[in-house]
Chains A and B, each alone.
Chain A
């Protein structure tokens, strides 16, 4: 039995018949052909597969595709606007916050949620705590923290009225 699943991914409606055991991460990669969502550990530890479902960050390796039926999903492919980089992506690029790039999509989506919740965020310790559920094995975190802090400042400048 393969139930029909439909959801909105990065603003586009998608539909497919999937086995109930299909993980959301595999649905995004294999059925929607969005390969930006990376699978590292497949048990919720590394954070590489983090996406937003209905605006909240989730591990897409710990959610079944059928559970996202009717929902709205944002992946790393949904970040860029009009072909340009998102301020978070710009900041990651400029601060060398990625090396091999495997963990980057998870960091970007965790950070996106973080800065939407806390647009005033500037404290390094708080940023580190918020990113503690994402593992990076090459950059060493410092540049990632710098990038998120800088992105917060850029986003505040972009939309000074939405603060708070």
Chain B
């Protein structure tokens, strides 16, 4: 099918976009890379009165270091660039690796960082990865800017903390400490298909050989990325070995509530989540070069 009729606006600045959004916050849709929105338009599952295209907005496609040492990714940075940009590859290799798993190259050339995060598909790679990295999302509205931690940003399936009238402008991520390991893994029917489940981990092994810090987020196992808040309590000070990673996997399984759908049963997703959890933590531990204060 073809998209329904809509009014089209292509503002040149964020403030102009917010101005247009203010007129009809509930009837307007923001168009970033269009790789989720345009299918919804084509199938007429979305019928917005106004489409506000962000592709001509200046200043949203930068990758930069902030004065306080974070990496800021503009909302319109293309997913393809996450794989190739030297700053992302050096400072946030977990993001570069996760990006490789997003659909296919001809999707990633258009798809954006902000679009994926704001769309908040439960099977998407970037929301869980940004959650694992403890990133924060910068949202601008008529009343100015606010920063939302990733753990509070993803409210549910296709639902975020962005209020009507606001838009996501960038994300900021503090690079993991030097020597921290990272890993991303997912299970999908074929490369590029929607993930049945996935896991992103950042883990640091201290000089004494024990875990100094650990963060984990899973995708596809609930309506929003699942971040086990108890992980550090269970892992820090312990040896990074297989029995520990399996115990963590078992506890994750106890706490998630994946859905049955045509792609996989909830039970299968639970089993995959346990395996991917242990695998991501193990791979991250193997990549860690120590220097943590454990």
Cα–Cα, bound, A44→B31 (Å): 16
- Which parts of B177-194 form the interface with A (CB within 8 Å)? 190-192
- Which parts of A148-163 form the interface with B (CB within 8 Å)? none
Please indicate the chain B residues that have their CB under 8 angstroms from the CB of A78 in the complex: none
For A, the interface residue count at a CB cutoff of 8 angstroms equals 29
- Whether A19 contacts B5 by the Cβ 8 Å rule is yes
Cα–Cα, bound, A85→B256 (Å): 55
Interface check B43, CB cutoff 8 A:
yes
- Whether B106 contacts A50 by the Cβ 8 Å rule is yes
A19 to B, closest residue via Cβ = B5
Interface check B107, CB cutoff 8 A:
yes
- Which parts of B89-115 form the interface with A (CB within 8 Å)? 103-107, 109-110
Q: A44-B39, A62-B39, A110-B106 are in contact. Are A23 and B34 (CB under 8 A)?
A: no
Interface check A129, CB cutoff 8 A:
yes
**Which of A8-16, A52-60, A86-94 binds B?**
A52-60
Interface check A130, CB cutoff 8 A:
yes
A106 to B, closest residue via Cβ = B106
Q: Smallest Cβ distance from B103 to chain A, in angstroms?
A: 7
Please indicate the chain B residues that have their CB under 8 angstroms from the CB of A40 in the complex: none
Cα–Cα, bound, A63→B111 (Å): 11
A56-B80, A56-B106 are known; give 7 further A-B pairs, CB within 8 A: A20-B51, A21-B2, A21-B4, A44-B38, A57-B106, A62-B107, A64-B3
Chain A residues proximal to chain B, CB less than 8 Å: 1, 3, 19-21, 23, 26, 42-44, 47, 50, 56-59, 61-64, 66-67, 110, 113-114, 129-130, 132-133
Q: 5 A-B Cβ contacts within 8 A?
A: A23-B2, A42-B39, A62-B38, A66-B10, A129-B191
